[in-house]
Structure 1
């Protein structure tokens, strides 16, 4: 019976999928399967032939294999490896090469003979590549083929570098990279312009010959492409869908990567559900959006014809369900994000008391505050709350080099004009200019340049916070040590990061904390900063003020909360939208063309304005009042 139930739940899935709670759990599972193959081959005196992948996805797999080697004696002496791909052109010693990646994460830490490592050669002459690719295929074949091939998946649906348009029988070859793939790699190279346009990759046909294929995906950024790969039609537009044709494939996912699959996203379509408040709200909003009908116009037939008959029977009549969810959504809307004084607050998202709240807005980068919740920021200040803003990092990696020269040139000219020239200032400027002219992609800036970039972001943040209504003594710059590495790869978080956060919290003793809950941030800074706040609160949990402190998560820079998730919706008037935009404009170094824009071509103010308008439209489509814009928040229960 359990097997039948599972088949029913997964009936939309066209290949086997296993879901783990965390990336670490999934990675340990994959590493164990690889280790088992190695041991079996050792016992039979054979070579284990592994197809390996690069990128963030397999890193924890390699960490676990290294641990097994060092702590459990797992030997790799009988292992032959073939990597999926390599950028072209690319020297093996370059930091961005997959040779460097594999050495750093695996090969330098195990006992594999170097001659048994195979990675496509990114230094070949163009005319030599076809022969190399044929030899690569032959070498795999002569060893009896790949015992296992591990894969990640790109947001284009590519496996290896088999981009959209690749054929299912394709072999190892030179390919042109999709623009989205190059944008995703931009941070590793110090900008998209430095990312190679081509790569050498194993073909889909080569991958298919492996006796076992495991595709891994972690985090919500991969959820939409995983749904297409698992439940979509086979298409060259999403090369990973070709894996549906294999009998030897399995997808290993964490919960976030699997969240858009039908059995998790809309479970009422495939099974009976336990209808708690959250799931009812999600289902009713889904039904309203699917049928393009306001909530209060949904009928019993609508429920019955769209997989929600169980809900209608168990919690009906349906009109009562509709009214209940409509009222719940109505109660999320408030013009008083700090609570409305002298008002009954049982149906409001925030408490009325204390009337004047101490508030701290944590901003991972120096502009996340105004981009993501600028309207609410301004309103909290306007309504008389004691608002502080804390910029957790300097953001000094995200400033263009020519801005550095422009600011230093101004400083030089101003100092000389006022008769206050500093000895050595001109020489320092010339050294900066020479460094920038010869700077290599992703090269770490000199300490002087890092300082100037940080000061540029600091000045913009002060201007934005002042415009939003704060005095200078309520503007805090934390410069958390984990970030201040001068490079894209950040330092590990330490207790020092947590202590700096605790110190600020103890000083303010806030009733409200606002923190970035936008974990799709491609830099990864948001989730690191959020976890530091959680650790600080955990260590301060015995402080009396913590028991009365509410933590609200905001989004907006990279995506928005789903409507069913929203617990506080702050509407903005057209005038408030304009004020928010002006606050964002204070961050001039991030306007027009930021250094790390992600895969959204819009400017940050446009993204924020569009997302806030879309949230307002989503509320209106459900039958609620029509607003110009809405900023959305979810309360984190810690």
Structure 2
């Protein structure tokens, strides 16, 4: 049966959703709702089979529906779900695009779903990226008519792009649009760039079902995961219908549900400012969030907020509970002030009751986990430097080799230098010959991947030596899930977790730092964080783990919101420059790095701008004026 948690309900049914124009359901993370969506699809397939009817599914690609497809495959294997009565139509395909290309949606769908279930091959419909330009218009009409002849789509699964596109219906698409060719928006191409190893390789055109085709579906579910989708989802769900945000057309569909995780829902009014829509339970964290929000909204420091400011912005209940703005302001100002510390490892010989870290033990064993071989210095280089300077036993563990992010040109440079020093070196000759004859989408040979990994290792050691860390405290884990040679990575396995556990057991740390930024364009950060969380879950009952605190930093894409920060480490102008120099050791990642996402700034510039902005926010709230601040949030297990 279809579970009530995702059954369609009229938008705005409840007080807290009164700003929302599309039925939306929020989950903590994506795993549970992916299972629920898969089971709704399975229920529909079975129902249609009982009636001796065909089930017509509209399917999407991208990272959002992968969990749904994994669950459908599982249902097929373990519960006998048959796809023999299913006909599928995919939303879109790049144009031009060979079916065999690993970036094609034809390849994606077979890799994630069709190769693993019993759907008849003739029932699979994916736009043909190789249809000739002269036949393209007729082909699109034929694709559209094939859907109509089957009575339309029974179910349409959607993701959403940062432009608000559904399928490849980019801004400006009309409500009545049908299957057609379209020119891709620049932002869409930027977001696709990691999969294509650079924006220059991303096609400029695509074939897509139209908005009208999608709107004719009897049931629509749109999936939204992650902070990078939060702002466009707020516009889609709460703003008026607008062709510049094509997904807003879904507001007019009478059986659509948006399913979001916490990150994707973070900009919705009921999540970001719940006091504006309903009665709140004012716990300590919500009070802090509300006061910081009000201070930033009005451009006032916390201590200058008045009773009227609270009353005029939906927080009268909070004042009734707290008594006065004066008392509340002081309490929240002190809470913010207590997040600031120049001693991230704990200040020795002091009362630590109002500090983010413990004073004891005075010298701590510390592991900094870095997903790629530069996230450590990009995200927490100043704190890294300070931990070493303050005498702690610091270890850094690079979870993956990062080899895929090294360009062929960079690898060729190193190979040719080696060749000049070693005339008779067959592995080097093999690398040079392979790079010069390499075809599009060809996976690097092992020896080339090893060279690229060694380039990143040497850069990492240069940075850690500069910060004063001994080589014996630098660990290269090379987690196996990453070593595929392609953008697509394997799932975590026991061997990945065992490597993580092995290092933690060896060092028995008092502090662990890890990347909590899940906006990484190709997902490695999330997988590495999952590996840590799974490892911690397995060993958390060990005695040494009872003394271990975990601090999460964020990477080069987003910073913690001010109200989320639990430890803020100020940096002097000199420390900012030292951090910059440490980042500069990662030369292969400068000047047009492959995986920089939608932000064209170099990583060192992003890091400095972000740290400077965090410091400015603290200053605007009434705190001291620091040059820069690195921020952390504690993970309690």
- TM-score above 0.5, yes or no: yes
Asked if residue 361 in structure 1 is aligned to residue 359 in structure 2, the reply is: no
Distance 1:65 1:636 in 2: 32
Matched, 1:535 2:534: yes
**How far off its partner does 1:27 sit?**
2.1
The counterpart of 1:56, out of the listed 59, 63, 84, is 63
Residue 570 of structure 2: aligned partner? 571
How far apart are 1:508 and its partner, in Å? 2.2
Which residue of 1 is the match for residue 429 of structure 2? 430
Q: Please state if 1:182 is matched with 2:189.
A: yes
Residue 490 of structure 1: how far off its partner (Å):
2.0
8 Å CA contact 1:190, 1:442 repeated in 2 = no
Is 1:230 the counterpart of 2:229? The answer is no
Per-residue deviation at 1:302?
0.8
On the 8 A contact 2:27/2:261 being kept in 1, the answer is yes
Give SS of 1:257's match: coil
Question: 48-57 or 274-283: which moved more?
Answer: 48-57
Aligned twin of 1:144: 151
- Mapping 1:191-202, distance limit 5 Å: 191-202=198-209
Aligned equivalents of 1:477, 1:25: Cα separation in 2: 33
Per-residue Cα deviation, 1:242-285 (whole angstroms, up to 9, x for no partner): 11122232212233322221111211111111111110000000
Q: Does 1:562 align with 2:569?
A: no
Kindly tell me: are residues 67 and 622 of structure 1, through their superposed partners in 2, closer, same or farther at Cα, counting changes over 3 Å? Answer: same
1:26-425 correspondence to structure 2 within 5 Å: 26-415=33-422, 423=424, 425=425
Contact persistence 1:23–1:253 (CA under 8 A): yes
Structure 1: distance between partners of 2:366 and 2:85: 60
Unaligned runs of at least 5 residues, structure 1: 416-420
C-alpha offsets along residues 18-57 of structure 1, whole Å, 9 cap, x if unaligned?
A: 2234323222322233233333333333322221111222
Number of aligned residue pairs? 629
Alpha-carbon distance in structure 1 between the residues aligned to 2:35 and 2:391:
52
**Structure 2: distance between partners of 1:391 and 1:492:** 18
CA contact (8 A) 2:416 2:432 kept: no
**Kept in 1: contact 2:516–2:555 (CA 8 A):** no
Deviations 1:271-317 (A, max 9, x none): 11111111000000001111111111111111111111111111221
Aligned equivalents of 2:523 and 2:84: distance in 1? 36
> Per the alignment, do residues 144 and 403 of structure 1 end up closer, same or farther by CA in structure 2, a change over 3 Å counting?
same
SS of 2:492's equivalent?
A: coil
- Residue 383 of structure 1, CA deviation: 1.6
Q: Which secondary structure does the structure 1 equivalent of 2:174 belong to?
A: coil
Alpha-carbon distance in structure 2 between the residues aligned to 1:38 and 1:5: 30
String of CA shifts for 1:196-228, please: whole Å, max 9, x gaps.
111000110111111222212223332221111
Contact 2:368 2:376 in 1 (8 A): yes
Q: Report the counterpart of residue 496 of structure 2 in structure 1.
A: 497
Distance 1:139 1:523, change over 3 A: closer
User: CA offsets, 1:67-104, max 9 Å, x none?
Assistant: 33333333333322211111111122222222222222
Name which of structure 1's ranges 173-182 and 524-533 shifts more when overlaid on structure 2: 524-533
Of stretches 277-286 and 30-39 in structure 1, the one that deviates more from structure 2 is 30-39
Residue 39 to residue 511, structure 1, CA distance change in 2 (3 Å): closer
How far apart are residue 551 of structure 1 and its match?
A: 1.1
Deviation at 1:6, TM superposition (A): 5.1
1:548 counterpart residue number = 547
* Structure 1 stretch displaced more, 495-504 or 584-593: 495-504
Deviations 1:536-566 (A, max 9, x none): 3333334332211111111142210000011
1:418 aligns with none
**Post-superposition shift, 1:5?**
9.6
- Conserved 8 A contact 2:183-2:205: yes
Distance in 1, matches of 2:583 and 2:10, equals 54
Kindly state the Cα deviation for residue 4 of structure 1 after the two structures are TM-superposed: 12
Cα distance change of structure 1 residues 523 and 78 upon mapping to structure 2, 3 Å threshold: closer
* Conserved 8 A contact 2:11-2:23: no
Q: Deviation digits for residues 331-383 of structure 1, max 9, x if unmatched?
A: 11111111112122111111122222222211111111110011111111112
CA–CA distance in 1 between the matches of 2:114 and 2:512?
Answer: 44
Q: What is the deviation of 1:173?
A: 0.6
Whether the 8 Å CA contact 2:11–2:21 is kept in 1: the answer is: no
CA distance 1:284–1:87, change in 2 (3 Å): same
Deviations 1:428-450 (A, max 9, x none): 33332221123233422111111
Q: CA offset at residue 516 of structure 1?
A: 1.1
When structure 1 is superposed on structure 2, of 362-371 and 428-437 the one drifting more is: 428-437
Asked whether the equivalents of residues 89 and 124 of structure 2 are also in contact (C-alpha less than 8 Å), the reply is: yes
Is contact 1:188-1:442 (8 Å) kept?
no
Query: Structure 2 CA distance, aligned partners of 1:68 and 1:549?
Result: 40
After TM superposition, the score normalised by the length of structure 2 is 0.95
Residue of structure 2 equivalent to 1:480: 479
Q: Which structure 2 residue ranges, 5 or more long, are not aligned? A: 1-8
* Partners of 2:84 and 2:274 in 1: CA distance: 47
RMSD across aligned positions (CA):
1.9
Answer whether contact 1:156 1:180 (CA < 8 A) is retained. yes
- Cα deviation for residue 389 of structure 1 reads 1.4
SS at match of 1:499: helix
